[in-house]
Structure formats: structure tokens, C-alpha cells
Structure 1
Amino acid sequence: MDTGTLHELRGDAVRAWTTFVEHGEGALDDVSPARRTAIRPEILSSWRRSAPAIDLGVSGAPLDDEQDTAAYWRESALQVAVSRIEDELRRTAEDGDLVLAVTDPQTRILWTYGGRVMRTKAETVNFVPGGRWDDTSVGTNALDLAGRMDTPSMVFSAEHYAPIVHNWVCWAAPVHDPATGERLGVIDLSTTWDRTHPIGLATARMMARLIETAIPDRAAPPRPRGAAGSPVEVAGLGLSLTLLGSAEARLDGRRLLLNRRQTEILALLAMHPDGLSLDQLHAYLYGDQAVTASTLKAEVSHLRAALGGALASRPYRLMMPVEVDVDSVIAHIRSGDVLGAVAAYGGDLLPGTNSPVLSELADYVAVALREALLADPQPDAVMGYSEIAPYDTEVLEHCLAGLGAAPHPARALLRGRLAAAAR
């Protein structure tokens, strides 16, 4: 966002805030439409809560007992998750000169880490462990809004109620227990208002998702570890990977929250159980795209956290049993079970992938299934396939031709599908 636009947005926010605190909410009806537009409904609602509770001269957030805060943090699932991905969180803070904070459900800060400049700014306003950042304690802020509304939130400059943070911009996103859906707290990214960036909210959302992938599954038995602390492969525990149609990964029955690249990495490692070097994985994933090795290493690091550490390096290798839906489709085709193959085929493999290896695999599976249907066009199997590939008229025509003149209950349905595909 260019500097002129940022200054204009900040000016609108300051004028709206000044009107509210000096003349009350009713006076906002008299300001220009542009200034009214600058006040988002959630900000105005928070100002209403803040006004009777907050002295505009407040110098910092109130602090809870240090020992109570530390004890809560030690027992929190968030502490385990943050410790698993702390290197990534710290790099994000340092690279963007941000201060990061993780809170409990009541918006009490449990953990922070700051870049060189923001660390000092944060300390001066008690943006530290123990600080209470609900809006009735310190005024409107993104941490409170993200927790209160259970959705990613941004608060810019004078949208904050307390003047002590008018020079800040904050992005926050709620963090949930993936197994239960319980909101555990929020993660917040803050910096100075002039460093506002359009991807700030997306970054907060991504950080929240990263923490969620690293939260231990308290309902599942702990994954056994070897003498040196490394994960060991155990029958009955492992990874289930769906790549056909809608992509999904489950670890010991628990759904993992992964981005597209991480799912692709999982797929490639599942295809190569003996492991891949960094260079091999880079080539298989990105092809000739100009993507740095450090970017790939960061994705692998996030993935390792999601897998509870069960991803070895040198070479990269999954340290657990893996079931992949692609293998099921291929096995059914090899055994001549076209109906079973169609039932296991959920659709194209990771459509839109840029991975040359996965694109090749997608073509292989799709062509193999189609050829199996042309060789053995069982009506029930063709009907199932036509739901996934409704415009493949050749398979429908081949099946109808195979029926000949003999009566068959699927004939009318097949003709209907063929007519719909031809339109």
C-alpha cells in the first residue's frame, strides 16, 4: 500500500476517533460519508464497550500475576504447539520487525516474541506475558476482536481506542483445537501503522493454522519414540492421504490442517518411501520454477511440526505407515475390479498442481481408470464414473454399445447422462 494512501487512511481514522471521544457517537452522523465509512461496525461496537471502561490516558495493559500466567502457559496445549514451531514464529517476527503474541481465551497474553524495534515498543505498553488485552482492559484491539468474533481481525492506527497504540497496526486470528473446535486463544502480529501490508491478515491466519497443526492430539495415544527420541514406525498408527478430488490428510485419525504445498510434499514423500534428497524434492515439487531451497525447507519444517516430528531428513522420509487413495485405485484396476476402482476414485488428483511428478501421476491414474472402463464398461461403474467425469461421452457410448439390444435397468440413465453431456 503506497504511503499517500496509508496517510489518508490514518487521517480518516484519527478524525473519526476524535469525533467519537470528544462529541460522542451521535456526532458521527454529522461527519462526511467517507469518514463514516472508515469506521467499521466491529470497531464502533468495540469503542462503545471501551468508552465507559478505559481512561484515554491509560499507559499500558493491566498485568495478571506472573506466576499464574506462567503456570497456565506450562499446562496449555498452545505451549507445546508454539515450542514445536518457535523457530518459524521467531523468523517471521524478525524478518518483518513484528511483535507476535499468543493469548488464552480471555485475551491474556501468554507468549510474545518481537523484532528489534517492536520488542521495545511492546514492553512499554505491557504487550508482554500477563498483559490483559480484552477491550474493557485496554481498549479496542485486534486480539480482542479476533477472539470475540472468532474470525481474523485487523485494527489500524486510531481504530485502537487507547492512544498508546495509535501508532500500531495489528492483525490477529483465532487458534482452535483441531480435534474439538475449542477456541484456545489468538495469535497477533503487530507493527507500526506505516508498515501496514495487504497480506498482514493472511499471514496471521496462516500463523494460526500453523499453530493448530502443531497442537498435540490429546485424544490420541502418544506416538512412540526410539531410544534417541526419534519417531518409530508403529502398526495401526499412521497417515491417511486423500489426493483424488478433495485433498485431505489424517494422522492417527485426526485431520491435519495443511496448505497446498505441504499436501504436495506429503504426496511426493508417500510415493517415495525410501526418501528424497532436498534437490530431488525441490525438482519433483517445483520443476523449473524459480523457488529457493529455503522456501522448501520452511514448508518441510511446518509439515514436520504437523506430523509431530515424524519426518526424517537426509533424506526426507516419512517415519510412519502411509495409506494413499491413489494406491487403492491402482490396486483395483490391476485386479480387474473396475467398480471398486471407480468407488475409490474421487476425482482428478490435486487439480491445478504445478508439480511435474504429481501432474504425471494425475494423468496416469485418470487414463488408467478410463482405459479400464473402456475395456470393461460395467454399467454401474460407468454410471459412477460419469458423476465424476460427466462430459466423457466416449465411455458412455462404449457402455451403451456393449449392452446391445438386451434390456438393462441402467440403459435409460446412461442415455440421459449422454444427452446431458452432449448439450
Structure 2
Amino acid sequence: MSEGLYGMVTTGLRVDRETPNEIGNTHDLRDVHPLQPLLPLLAQSLAHMAGESAHMMVVTDADGRVLWRDGNPEILRIAHEPHRTDPCTDRPLMRVPHVQSRSAAPIIDPDTDRVLGCVDISGTARSPHPATVALVCAMAKLAETQLALRMHERDERLRRRYEALGGHPGILLSPTGRVLSGDPLGTLGERLPLPAPGERMVLRDGRFVLLETFSDGYLLRAAPPASAPAPVPTRLRLHGFLGEGSPTALVGEHRLPLSLRHAEILALLALHPGGLSAEQLSFHLYGDDGNPVTIRVEIHRLRAELGNTIGARPYRLTSPIEADFLELRGLLASSDPASLARVYTGPLLPRSESPEIRRERDEFEVQVRTCLLLRGSPDDLWAYAQTSGGREDFEILQRLATTLPATDHRAAAARARLRA
């Protein structure tokens, strides 16, 4: 009777019901969480005990969101789909509220020394069994041991690829900045702060180096002389965001079709070059109903496809960017009607219901239309009349019908639309 839930356990056993949307968010969260590969192991180790006794076993992330639970059916029924446990602490916990007992132990990431999650056993007895804390500590230790083994296996695979390069070309770092090879005297310490790829940094011994991606980790290579040109960063190009086209992203030579949600996120990051937090992105996309967890999952997926073009804290685009809607914004400042008519092929992401995208879309539409009515030639007005917003625009069509020669096919089309 194993379940992947997303909930909150309040004081006692009274809880609230989760919504279908939250269930979907939990599946996304669980799929990308570092504990996901260990859930079967933890489940196998504890589920039998939790089911046979009057207990419920829960595995949460560091914020208390439930990744998995199992246990006695009656206890699960009483608990009734919890919403969130208490956030994990960095030490084992035994707490006895007035209607239930709880024993919990944190799971520490051996890579970052941060709390990844928590193993929790709760029951209805007022006094927890003395062995319960020992059990959850043993399960947390088991999880940490497995995480350490997986980390060492990843490190070894990365070292083998590094050795295959020959000559030890630089200093090898893990994805989190741990020094894996290339520093035989240990002068750099166990871990280095990671700059942005392509950014220069100074080591403790005074050397200037550049960070570059290598397989699943990074390499620090000697920086070129100051007189040498800096490496050209990969450019991100966004196409099809205006009008009825299909949004795509081009990173170097790699072209990626974008879902509407990913297109919305990239558009918002491009329109806010200073960066946005997960909470701000969530609000811009969903309003008050947004969930930052969903944003973090989508950013994780975007990074997997677009590489290091998205930075964190806050989320921001780190590559030089070109986009049709950014070009349009620049042209609006110059009030060049011919260029506006060429670039503006329709509204910004017309299928988007994002509050912020809709606001930007409406502003673009009003500014383009106003500029064309004030300064646009018949050719410019005709180009706008082919967009979704201009096809039935009475003032635009009337201007075309009266300024173009009566024999011009565009005037005839404008008159036909007016009659319709």
C-alpha cells in the first residue's frame, strides 16, 4: 500500500485533503529528487515493520514534503493524505504530541553536507518504543551510505574520462565543486566555489583559471593571457515567440522545440534580465495559485536541454540572447514603423494564460498599433492587418480602404473585411 504523497501533518492526526494539482507536482518533485533512487530500498527496509505495527513510515524532502509513505492501513486512514511534515532538522528527533508519537532522523547528503530529507515513523501510541529512534537512525545511515557509494561511483567515472584526456589538462571538479583530480598537493582544499562557465577566477596560489564543463563535471584550465580574446559564450536564440509560430530555442547549433510552459519561462527570464526567484516566476506564470516547486522542476528540465544558459539564485539567462520579442521592444523605442511591421508577426505567445505574459502581450499590441496608425505607410498597415489582432481591426482596415488606390487588391480586401 505504498503511496507517493504531498502533504502536511499537523499537530495530532488531523490533516487536510490534497488537490489533484498537488499530486502531479509531487510526482514531478519526486522524479528529480536525489533520494528518488533510494526510495525502493527504504521502502523494502521499513514498510514491513510499519505495516505490521500501528505505525506509518514517511520519507520527506528537506522542506518536509512527503516523497513516499507506507504503513498500517488504519493509521494511513486516520492520517488521511497529509499535507506536509515538519521540516527536517540536522539531528534525530523523538517527539510525543498529545495524540501521537513520532521518531525521525535526517538524511545528510555526503556530497554537500546538506539535509536532503528525513525518515519518519509515526504512530498513535503516546509513548514511542525506545528502538524506534535507533531504527530511523539506522535507515537514515543506510541511505547516506548508499548516497556515498553512488557519489564515489560517479566520481570514479568522471576521473576515468579525465585520465583518458592524457596529460592532466587542468583541475577536475565534481558538479558541486569538489576537487577530484589535478591537485596532488591538496593546496586547493576539498571544494571550490563555482564561477559561471567561461568566467575567470583566481586560485589560492594566484593562478588565473577558466571554468568549463566536462562530462558531468567541470575542468579548471589555465586562463589565456590577458591580451588574448576571451572565449565567446554560447548565444541563445529564441524564435517563433510572436504570432502563430512554434517557439524554438537555438543554443549554438542545437535547435530545441519548446513547450508552451518552457517558452513562457524563457520569455519571462529574457524580459527580466536581472533574474527572478522561483516564487516570482511562479507568480508571473500562475498568479496566486502558483507553486514554486513546479517552477524548480521545469527549470531543472530546461537546464538538462539548454545546458548552462540558465543561472540560479535568482534564475536568469547567462548567455547572450536574441529573440524576436526583444528586437520588437528595441524597435518600439525607436518608433520605426517599417521595421515594426516587419518584425511584429502577431501577439507574444498568444496561447499563454500567464498574467505577466498577457500584460506584456497587450502592451506590445497597443504600442505597435499606435505607432503604425500614426506613422505607418499603407505597406506597414497591410502587414499589420495580416496578424491576428489586425485582421478585423476596423480603424486599420478603414485606413487601408481610403488611402490605397481603389484598384489595389489590398484596398478591395480591406473593404471586404469591413463589410463582413
The structure having more radius of gyration, on CA atoms, is 2
- Structure with the bigger percentage of strand: 2
Indicate the structure with greater helix content. 1
TM-score (norm 1): 0.44
Q: Which structure ranks higher in relative contact order (CA pairs < 8 Å, sequence separation ≥ 6)?
A: 1
The TM-score, its normalising length taken from structure 2, stands at 0.44
